[in-house]
Amino acid sequence: MDPVFLKVLVGTTLLAASSSVVGAFSYLKGQSLIGDAIAHALLPGVVLAFILGGIRNSSLLIFGALISGLLAHYGIGYIENKTKLKNDTAVSLVLSTFFGFGIMLMSYIQRTGIGQQAGLERFLLGKAAAITMQDIYIFTVLALLLIIGVGLFYKGFQLMTFNEDFAQAIGLPMPLIRCAFTVLTVLAITIGIQTVGVVLMAALLITPSATARVWTNSLPSMLVLTASFAGVAAVLGTYISSALSKMPTGPWVVLVMAFFGFSSLLFAPKRGWFSKQKQANANQRKTIRENVLKLLFQQEEHRGLPIVLSVDEIQRKRVIRLDRLTSALKELKKRLLIIDYGGCYGLTELGRSEGRRVVRLHRLWELYLTERLGMAADHIHPQAETMEHVITPEIEELLVKELGNPEVDPHKSPIPYEED
């Protein structure tokens, strides 16, 4: 494999995976934009490092950025504490001041000619292609440092993001934990901008964690997933950018991450859009099935003997779209809740019990609304129409207990209990 390509691949992957893990805690703290602000604020430190050490001195560059970033971070905290300005104002104030100062320095060195090759572009958009072997060593050390730091401070960071007051109350050394978090964040951003640049840094810090959060409810697995998403995105981004000529790596890495992020939002189990949609559809079908059983049960109750109804008769009693009714009837047959007597449908014993349950919940809820919430008897029907499909057996038990085993609902209809 091409050694230049390999260098870029290894460097980018290391950077993306390690800095995104630190970003996960910023994300959980609800400080997603801090990364963006600090990334911009690194500029003056980087430029000063250029002036002092020249373009090829990676460690000096990182050191300069680190100092600049720490100053910005503490500046934001200081402004927030000492004035009445809100966090977002303090963040933008510091961001613009530092960035402005950096640009000023930058134009100064460009005029003198030292900074021609370095250029603003590398800082703004990152330049993965310029990664040297020496960079790789430094990145490896930094990446390890980040991972070890997060591992070491795991308990502290976890409690700081979840419940900082409690962490302080039990006597954890909060200044140390906060300081460690700040240093790791600034370090993560400093090494991250080498690949994707300032403009895309927020994406590197936040997108992988937001993506991982959708897939898991446990912090350790979220951190592992975050690093994996970022790493895989870095590998893919590097491949794509090298396959297409004159394409920068950073933006491609970020685009691949964004792709992961958006597809997760759509497809993830439970939290994803599709699975929520699926759940809603399943509930709607259940509602229709239960309404059919309820209708049949009420007809039997009314006449006092088992009956059968055709599709037309059902639709005359209750408005249900024909295609939905047909599939509901099919499903009910499959579950042995109704029997098909050649186009007319009647309840089985199982179906009767289910229909009775729905009617019972409806009437119990109506009684609850009038007795406990003092609603008028002519206003309660629509509410009960929904709730009869939602109430679980446990809630039913509570309702019956709280209402004292009632016999009739507010309209004097009997509440049908199971007979045994």
Partner 1 sequence: MEKSIEVHNLTVSYHSKPVLWDVDFSLPMGKIIGIVGPNGSGKTTMLKTIMGLMKPDSGYTEIFGQPLDKVRSRVSYVPQRESVDWDFPADVMDVVLMGRYRKNNLFRRISKDDKRIATEALEKVNLLEFAHRQISQLSGGQQQRVFIARSLAQQADIYLMDEPFVGVDAATEDAILQLLQEMKNQGKTVVIVHHDLQTANEYFDHIVLLNTRLVAAGPKNEVFTKDLLQEAYGGRLTVLSKLGDLISTEEFPLREPEFKENKPDKE
**Shortest Cβ distance from residue 236 to partner 1 (Å)?**
26
> Which member of 32, 182, 216, 413 binds partner 1 (CB under 8 A)?
216
- Give the Cα separation of 131 and 297 in Å (integer): 75
- Give the Cα separation of 124 and 365 in Å (integer): 61
- Give the Cα separation of 384 and 361 in Å (integer): 8
Q: Which two tokens stand for residue 404?
A: 């004292």
Please choose, out of 44-52, 162-170, 280-288, 324-332, the segment that lies near partner 1 by the rule CB under 8 A.
Answer: 162-170
Please choose, out of 148-156, 316-324, 378-386, 387-395, the segment that lies near partner 1 by the rule CB under 8 A.
Answer: 148-156
- Give the Cα separation of 211 and 148 in Å (integer): 23
- Give the Cα separation of 377 and 370 in Å (integer): 6
Q: Does 155 bind partner 1 (CB under 8 A)?
A: yes
- Give the Cα separation of 6 and 379 in Å (integer): 71
> Which member of 133, 170, 243, 376 binds partner 1 (CB under 8 A)?
170
**Shortest Cβ distance from residue 223 to partner 1 (Å)?**
9
Torsion angle in degrees (nearest 10) through CA of 356, 362, 363, 368: 140
Q: Does 222 bind partner 1 (CB under 8 A)?
A: yes
Q: Does 322 bind partner 1 (CB under 8 A)?
A: no
CA 365 to chain CA centroid, Å, is: 35
Q: Does 182 bind partner 1 (CB under 8 A)?
A: no
Q: Does 392 bind partner 1 (CB under 8 A)?
A: no
Residue (144 or 398) nearer to partner 1, CB: 398
Q: Does 245 bind partner 1 (CB under 8 A)?
A: no
> Which member of 2, 111, 117, 165 binds partner 1 (CB under 8 A)?
165
Which 12-51 positions form the footprint of partner 1 (CB under 8 A)?
A: 28, 30
CB of 202 within 8 A of CB of 32?
yes
Q: Does 199 bind partner 1 (CB under 8 A)?
A: no
Q: Does 378 bind partner 1 (CB under 8 A)?
A: no
Q: How many CA atoms lie within 13 A of 91 on its CB side?
A: 12
Q: Does 108 bind partner 1 (CB under 8 A)?
A: no
Residue (117 or 218) nearer to partner 1, CB: 218
CB of 275 within 8 A of CB of 269?
yes
> Which member of 1, 133, 169, 305 binds partner 1 (CB under 8 A)?
169
Q: Where is 347: in which H helix or E strand?
A: strand 344-347
> Which member of 112, 218, 392, 405 binds partner 1 (CB under 8 A)?
218
- SS3 assignment, position 338: strand
**Shortest Cβ distance from residue 207 to partner 1 (Å)?**
17
Q: Does 269 bind partner 1 (CB under 8 A)?
A: no
Residue (52 or 176) nearer to partner 1, CB: 176
> Which member of 5, 78, 137, 166 binds partner 1 (CB under 8 A)?
166
SS (H, E, C) 252-263: HHHHHHHHHHHH
Residue (270 or 335) nearer to partner 1, CB: 270
| C-alpha dihedral sign at 389, 393, 395, 397 | positive
Q: Does 109 bind partner 1 (CB under 8 A)?
A: no
Tabulate helix, strand, coil % of the chain (nearest 5): 75, 5, 20
Please choose, out of 38-46, 190-198, 213-221, 403-411, the segment that lies near partner 1 by the rule CB under 8 A.
Answer: 213-221
> Which member of 173, 269, 306, 414 binds partner 1 (CB under 8 A)?
173
CB of 44 within 8 A of CB of 103?
no
Q: Tell me the C-alpha to C-alpha distance, in Å, between residue 355 and each of 58, 101, 285, 403.
A: 74, 74, 15, 21
**What residue spans of 170-305 are helical by DSSP H?**
174-215, 219-243, 249-267, 273-303
Which 71-90 positions form the footprint of partner 1 (CB under 8 A)?
A: 84
How many residues touch partner 1 under the rule CB under 8 A: the total is: 27
- SS3 assignment, position 342: coil
Q: Which two tokens stand for residue 261?
A: 């992020």
Please choose, out of 44-52, 157-165, 281-289, 374-382, the segment that lies near partner 1 by the rule CB under 8 A.
Answer: 157-165
**Shortest Cβ distance from residue 128 to partner 1 (Å)?**
31
Q: Which residues bind partner 1 (CB under 8 A)?
A: 28, 30, 84, 152-153, 155-156, 158-159, 161-163, 165-173, 213, 216-219, 222
